Structure formats: structure tokens, C-alpha cells
Amino acid sequence: MPSFTNVNNASIVTGVPPRVHGICGNYFFDVESGKEVMMNSSAFLRVETIFPAAQKSGRKVAVITAKDKLRDIFASGLIKIGGIAFSSEKAAEATSTTHGIGSLEKRIGPAPAIYSAEASIYVLRAGADLLEQGGADFLYLSTTDFIQHKHAPEAAGALDFYAALDEQIGRLLKAGAMVGLTADHGMNAKQKSDGSPNVIYLETQLNKSFGPGFRVILPITDPYVAHHGALGSFAQVHLPAENKTSPTQILEFIRQLPGVTEVLDRSAVARLMELPPDRIGDISVCAGRDVVLGRTAEGHDLTALKGGLRSHGGRYEEMVPFIFSAPLTPEYSRRAQCDPRNFDLFDYLCNGIQA
């Protein structure tokens, strides 16, 4: 938690919770600079990823993402020691100097549009090609959730997408890979019966009830507005500098809002969700299965949300698959009964699969 892209991907590639690696969302309020910033840079990471260590140990590492925003976080320290890291979104810009590989469009095909199923399929196709050709033997393939944002699980668009992914996973298996599958978050429909987004505009509510100065940060915020319109089921609240209302009173006010399921102060959320206390708000808020949190109605462009809103961020998107292509050893089978987390993936894959 929160069930967002950057938080969970950073955990998967470092093997530690956000409290340790430092990435607490896609977006946060930097108190020191007084600015709201994207957490898309490896500069925000407080530990190394697994990839430089794997490369130094003799593996040929390739990290391939759909969204370019994740590449810098994953590729930290990798390219300069001979690894590969690129995104399908900007495959045309990849060079051997900057990404560890070039001429991708000649090799894999034209770079796909980021708002497409092909953005993810391209990732697996490129990974399978590298494995088959001997260019890599230790891969992290990170897809985008565009299809899940746009299609319910059993819709034709989703089923076609998974069939295409299955085909590429089959190539990986045929090439001899041991494959582990997990996700950074789940997904749910977040809309009213008329199809409109089911939103609590939290900043508006707080400023109206307690006066101006509240700052609501939505950690789902990223450049890909067509996915979710910056509306997710988790929010951070920064209290006004001159706040004259008891924080407890504010916390209780938020807790009573219909659709809110969990409200925690800074110390509680840092402990329960293992988040870095210096990078979160005074209050953290979770919404229900079909509810999202926003700032103000005028602060969100919802014109790109065609066909309804599906989003994530809260407790209802916390549970994800944990799947391997071969049986676990007896020791790791026992561990698997104790509710493993998605960032245990590499431990299980490297150490817990029966040969």
C-alpha cells in the first residue's frame, strides 16, 4: 500500500517496503522544496535495485518497461556496467550508449502508442527476443495497466490482450526461462450507476468545512491521464501551516465522509503501510471499492475517461497474483502459506523454484 505503480514496482525490484526504498507514490509533496513533484527518478530511491548486483554476478540483465517513467528507477546503475534498459513507449530513442541496446524498431518493430495493448505486448516480445538470441538471461518485464483501466476482466478487449500476453510468455518458457508473474496493484470500477466517476473531492470538502490552506496530494498522479484522470482510492492530506482546527477533528470529519474506508495519521500510516514518514502527508485516506478521491472538480480533466473509470490505490486493489512456471521447493511452499508479498517475487524465483 498504497496500491500504485511506482510504489509497488520499486518494492519488487528492491525487495523491500517503501519505508526502506523511499518511493511512496507516483507523486508527492516535497516539504523541503515546497513543491509537488513526480517520483519518476532514481534520485528518489534510497537503496539499489537487484539488477546491478545480478549484472555484476555474471548475469546478462535486461529491464524492459512499457511506461518510460519507470525506466530510470529500474535502470539505476545498470547501463554503465553493461546491462540493458528501455521502454516500449520510447523504443525509437534507445541507443547502445544510453540504453544498452539500439535499433529496436528494426529488431522488434515500431514503438507502439502508450495508450494501447501493444505497449505491453511489445515488452514481452522484446524480452522473448533477447532471451532467444542470447542477449539477456535475467529479465524484468513491466507492462502497463491501460487495458485493465479500460476493460473489465472478462471483456473482449481484456481477453484478447491476455491471449497475446500468453503467447509471448509461451515463447519465454520455450526458450527455457523460469517465469514469475505478479502485479503492482489490482483494479476496480470506480463509477456511479450512470457511468460517471464516483469521486470525493477531498480538498474542496476540507477547505469548505475548515477554511483554506489544505493540500491534498493524489499519489496516483502521473503523465498518463487517459488511464485514470489522476483519480485513485488513496490520498495524502497536508494540513494548513496556520491550522487552528484539531487534527483529530479533521481526521474524524474525513472518516465520516460516505465512501471513505480508512483514515490514518502520519505515524499510523508509516507503521501500518510501511511508508517513509518524511514523504507522506499529515493524514492518509483510503476510499472504498467503487470510490476515488480527488482534489477539486475543476482540478481534474475527465474528458479522456471514455467508457467509465476503472482505477486503484486503496485496500481493495491490494491483493495481486503470485504465480510461477514451476513448483516451489518444500521450504518455499511453506513460506507461500504465510501470505507472501509481491516484492518477494525475485527471492522465490531465484531461490525457491524446483530445478
Nearest in space to 292 (alpha carbons), one of 234, 248, 226: 234
Q: What is the pLDDT along the chain (355 residues), one digit of tens a residue?
A: 999 999 999 999 999 999 999 999 988 998 888 888 888 888 899 999 999 999 999 999 999 999 888 888 888 789 999 999 999 999 999 999 999 999 999 999 999 999 999 999 999 999 999 999 999 999 999 999 999 999 999 999 999 999 999 999 999 999 999 999 999 999 999 989 888 889 999 999 999 999 999 999 999 987 665 444 689 999 999 999 887 789 999 999 999 999 999 999 999 999 999 999 999 999 999 999 999 999 998 877 676 666 678 999 999 999 999 999 999 999 999 999 998 999 999 999 999 999 7
Please give the model's pTM, rounded to 2 decimal places. 0.91
CB 226 within 8 A of CB 309: no
CB 217 within 8 A of CB 29: yes
- Of 3.30.1360.110, 1.10.10.10, 3.30.1360.70, 1.20.1250.20, the CATH number of 199-311 is 3.30.1360.110
Which architecture, in CATH terms, is 5-186+318-351?
3-Layer(aba) Sandwich (3.40)
Nearest in space to 200 (alpha carbons), one of 253, 257, 250, 239: 257
Domain-wise residue ranges, the chain = 5-186+318-351, 199-311
User: Which one-letter DSSP state was computed for residue 278?
Assistant: G
